[in-house]
Amino acid sequence: MDESVNPQPNRKVLIIEDEYFISELYVRALEKAGYEVVLAIDGKDGFDKALSDAFDIILLDIMVPTMTGTEILERLRERSPAIKAKIIIITNLEQGEENKQKIEQQADGYIIKAEITPKQLVGFLNNIK
């Protein structure tokens, strides 16, 4: 799989992630691959941006301030059921069984950040519809 070329140019990605080093790496890798990236470092801000429905992919961290990723996911599905973005959870936190089931129902994908390098993330997103 070619990881460097975005097969669907001009796709917009929203990253909701508060760890500065991680978001720096992700933004850099995605922009290099031709994605347009918007970053939110705060849960509420991220939620409002997501509601605009201007994105093809939303990368959603779980441990973010003011509103957790699971809350954002739940409320997005409630408020905006027809949202076009694929919502991918990105986290390093193992979920309890209940949370896990909820995420499996509501998210489109799930990534353990430590298991994947920025380039591999790009490859993963390139394969998402």
Partner 1 sequence: MDHSKKLKTQVYGQIAFGLLAVGAVSVGLWYILFEQMDLDSIVALILAFAGIIGFALVLGELLTRVVLEPIQTLTNAILHVAPNHENAPSSPPNLDAVRIGRELVSSMALQIYQMASHESAKEVETDSRRESIIQAVNVVNHLPLPLFVLNSERQITNASESGIAYVGLESGKLFGQPLEDTIRLEFPSEKTLSSWIDECQKNKVTSTRLWERVRVTLPDQSMKQCDISAHYNRDNPSGAEFIITFFDRTERYSQDDESLGFVALAVHELRTPLTMLRGYIEVLEDELADSVDEEMRDFMHKMNVAAAQLTIFVNNILNVARIEQNQLMMNLTEADWSKTINSVLDDMDVRAKINGITIERNIDKDIPTVGIDNISIYEVVANLIDNAIKYSKGSEKIIVSSRVGDNGLIETTVQDFGIGMPTSVTTNLFEKFYRNHRTRGKAAGTGLGLYLIKSIISAHGGQVWVNSKEGEGSTFGFSVVPYSQLTDEQKQGDGKDIIRQSHGWVKNHSMYRR
Contact letters (x/-) for partner 1, 50-79, by CB under 8 A? -------------x----------------
Between helix 69-79 and helix 43-51 the angle, nearest 10°, is 20
User: Under the criterion CB under 8 A, does residue 98 sit at the interface with partner 1?
Assistant: yes
Task: Between 76 and 88, name the residue whose CB sits nearer to partner 1.
Answer: 88
Q: Where are the alpha helices (DSSP H) in 4-61?
A: 20-32, 43-51
**What's the gap between Cα 15 and its chain centre?**
5
User: Under the criterion CB under 8 A, does residue 81 sit at the interface with partner 1?
Assistant: no
Q: Could you tell me which residues come within 8 angstroms of residue 32 by beta carbon, excluding any fewer than 6 positions away?
A: 4
User: Under the criterion CB under 8 A, does residue 88 sit at the interface with partner 1?
Assistant: yes
User: Under the criterion CB under 8 A, does residue 118 sit at the interface with partner 1?
Assistant: yes
